[in-house]
Amino acid sequence: MREDDIWLLKRLNFFPDATGEEMQALVETIRPKAFRKGEMIYFPGELANHVYLVREGMIRLARITPEGRTFTLEMFNSGDIFGEMALAGQDRRSETAEAMRDCSVWGVPRSTLQAIVEKNPKMALQITKIIGFRRLQIENRVSNLLSTVPVRLARLILSLAERYPGPLDQGRRTIKIRLTHQDMGDLIASNREIVTATLNRFKKDEVIHLDGSTIVLHNERELHNISGTDKGEI
């Protein structure tokens, strides 16, 4: 494993207080895997034996509705952890994980992480917080389905700006992650055409500015007004 890979492990919120010995144990059990766009990392019903780290690429976590539709729960970018519910007592997966781009993914055995967590109360607390935050995000995304597309899209933009902040553009926040309009549609349970039309409306109203694939939050106050949230709620 390269030095920059070890550095990536150390900077993750999952491992803030891991000792050198614990990090070495992680490094020795990690198994890198490559997935092509469209390949599945896991399916519902599969044993939850690993927690995963996105080294490169993008992963979509989704759930299949009783009607057979795919509902996107979350997307994970380089440096993100997913599949962490394996540490919360989930024996089998309840969702799908799919490569949205060509990806490099690390799989960490659940047993290795559990052994480390048992000896590290601070890490156990951090993991509990992350799992709780993820559950809240998913619950919010499900409840958002009752809102209009502009509301859902405004909330998504604000959420992405918090999670993937890019460099400031004349004092205004930007979004670093690159998502297609279809990706954004999947995240708010809409389609590409409606997302494109809504983004164009936001742009015309000078709520956002599109600089290539970068979204600039031109009028963040208005985004909060559209989303129905106060600053700090997203």
What is the span of the domain harbouring residue 176?
A: 149-227
Kindly state whether residues 136 and 185 are assigned to the same domain: no
Instruction: Specify the number of domains making up the chain.
Output: 2
Domain termination residue (choose one: 80, 111, 144): 144
Kindly state whether residues 174 and 214 are assigned to the same domain: yes
> Alpha-carbon distance 42 to 135, whole Å?
19
Phi, psi of 82 (to 5 degrees): -145, 165
Strand order in 209-211's β-sheet?
174-175, 214-216, 209-211
Whether residue 233 is contained in a domain is answered as no
Kindly state whether residues 16 and 119 are assigned to the same domain: yes
Long-range contacts of 215-218 (CB under 8 A, 24+ apart): 215/157, 215/160, 215/161, 215/174, 215/175, 216/169, 216/172, 216/173, 216/174, 217/157, 217/158, 217/161, 217/172, 217/173, 217/174, 217/175, 218/172
Higher pLDDT, 223 or 67: 223
What average pLDDT does the chain have?
A: 84
Whether residue 232 is contained in a domain is answered as no
Amino acid letter, residue 133: F
Kindly state whether residues 73 and 140 are assigned to the same domain: yes
> Alpha-carbon distance 218 to 231, whole Å?
15
Kindly state whether residues 163 and 211 are assigned to the same domain: yes
100 neighbors 41 (Cβ within 8 angstroms): no
Higher pLDDT, 105 or 138: 105
Domain termination residue (choose one: 82, 113, 144): 144
Tokens describing residue 154: 């405004």
Kindly state whether residues 187 and 127 are assigned to the same domain: no
Sign of CA dihedral 61, 63, 64, 67: negative
Sign of CA dihedral 114, 118, 123, 128: positive
Kindly state whether residues 115 and 170 are assigned to the same domain: no
Mean pLDDT of 124-153: 78
Mean pLDDT of 24-43: 88
Whether residue 234 is contained in a domain is answered as no
Kindly state whether residues 8 and 27 are assigned to the same domain: yes
In whole angstroms, what separates CA 170 from the centre of its chain?
A: 27
Kindly state whether residues 104 and 165 are assigned to the same domain: no
Kindly state whether residues 135 and 83 are assigned to the same domain: yes
pLDDT at 33 over 80: yes
Whether residue 163 is contained in a domain is answered as yes
Which residues are 5's β-sheet partners? none
Which residues are 74's β-sheet partners? 61
Residue 215 is inside which H or E element, if any?
strand 214-216
In whole angstroms, what separates CA 118 from the centre of its chain?
A: 26
Whether residue 175 is contained in a domain is answered as yes
Whether residue 56 is contained in a domain is answered as yes
Kindly state whether residues 73 and 181 are assigned to the same domain: no
Whether residue 46 is contained in a domain is answered as yes
What's the pTM? 0.71
Task: Look at residue 127 in the predicted model and tell me its pLDDT.
Answer: 75
Domain with residue 118: its CATH number is 2.60.120.10
pLDDT at 17 over 70: no
pLDDT at 13 over 60: no
Domain termination residue (choose one: 117, 144, 171): 144
Residue corresponding to tokens 């349970």: 189
Task: Look at residue 139 in the predicted model and tell me its pLDDT.
Answer: 73
Task: Look at residue 207 in the predicted model and tell me its pLDDT.
Answer: 96
Within 10 A of 37 (CB to CB), how many other CB atoms are there?
12
Residue 9: which pLDDT band, with cuts at 50, 70 and 90? low
Residue 16: which pLDDT band, with cuts at 50, 70 and 90? low
Kindly state whether residues 96 and 186 are assigned to the same domain: no
Domain with residue 194: its CATH number is 1.10.10.10
Mean pLDDT of 119-131: 76
